[in-house]
Amino acid sequence: MLFHVKMTVNLPHDLPADQATDILAREKAYSQALQAEGKWRHIWRVAGHYANISIFDVADNEELHVLLSGLPLFKFMDIEVMPLLRHPSAVRDDDR
């Protein structure tokens, strides 16, 4: 199943720099591993915001929930999820 996911990060201003650096490094490694596995299909930065729009390709809602809640930044995020279905007027049978 494909999901459109918007993640907005709200790091606390008083978070110590060393903790922020550690969380961000773990977040990058985790997200890149999911990208390499093909579960995190696409990621785009939202211009002017500490946010991204991503496409996930996972088995179901539960798998998506497990992956998202495993993000090191999860507790600092506002997340919006939208399930996607192929549109009947699409000219391609895949998501190129």
* pLDDT tens for each residue of the chain, 96 residues long: 999 999 999 999 999 999 999 999 999 999 999 999 999 999 999 999 999 999 999 999 999 999 999 999 999 999 999 999 988 898 887 766
Q: Which residues pair with 4 in a beta bridge?
A: 55, 82
Maximum C-alpha span of the chain: 50
CATH number of residue 51's parent domain: 3.30.70.1060
Expressed as residue numbers, the domain containing 45 is: 2-84
pLDDT given for residue 38 in this prediction: 96
pLDDT given for residue 4 in this prediction: 98
- Let me know if residue 7 belongs to a domain: yes
What helix, strand, coil percent values describe the chain, rounded to 5?
A: 35, 30, 35
- Let me know if residue 17 belongs to a domain: yes
- Let me know if residue 94 belongs to a domain: no
Q: What is the DSSP letter of 76?
A: G
Structure-token pair, residue 36: 């390499």
Total of domains in the chain:
1
- Let me know if residue 90 belongs to a domain: no
Supply the DSSP string of 1-12, one letter for each residue: -EEEEEEEE---
Report the C-alpha gap between 58 and 92 in whole angstroms.
20
- Let me know if residue 92 belongs to a domain: no
- Let me know if residue 95 belongs to a domain: no
pLDDT given for residue 69 in this prediction: 98
pTM over 0.85: yes
